[in-house]
Amino acid sequence: MSDNWIRASEIGDYLYCRRSWWLKRSRGIASENVRELARGTQHHRQHGSLVQQSVWLRRAAYVLIFVVVAMMAYSFVGG
């Protein structure tokens, strides 16, 4: 990607510490807290997986509710 593009994560870096953003972008100086950043990335991946799982579980619950209501309606009409 070109150096002219600014990523969303860079905006967060800039808002947190302009000097740090400038050092990374113009001087190529890496962060000293690499382990913490890696742990944060892993945490966000795990959280994203949990959020995605909850979305699918909610959808499954809606489908199950629909099926139960449809079966109840069918039994009242048919019986």
What tens digit of pLDDT does each residue of 36-52 get? 989 999 999 999 999 99
Statement to judge: residues 27 and 5 lie in one domain: yes
Q: How many domains does the chain have?
A: 2
What tens digit of pLDDT does each residue of 65-75 get? 999 999 999 99
Statement to judge: residues 66 and 43 lie in one domain: yes
Residue-wise DSSP of 12-62: HHHHH-HHHHHIIIII-PPPS-HHHHHHHHHHHHHHHHHHHHHHHHHHHHH
Statement to judge: residues 66 and 78 lie in one domain: yes
| Domain residue limits at 7 | 1-32
Statement to judge: residues 28 and 38 lie in one domain: no
Give, in order, the Cα–Cα distances in Å from 2 to each of 5, 7, 11, 14, 26. Answer: 6, 11, 16, 18, 13
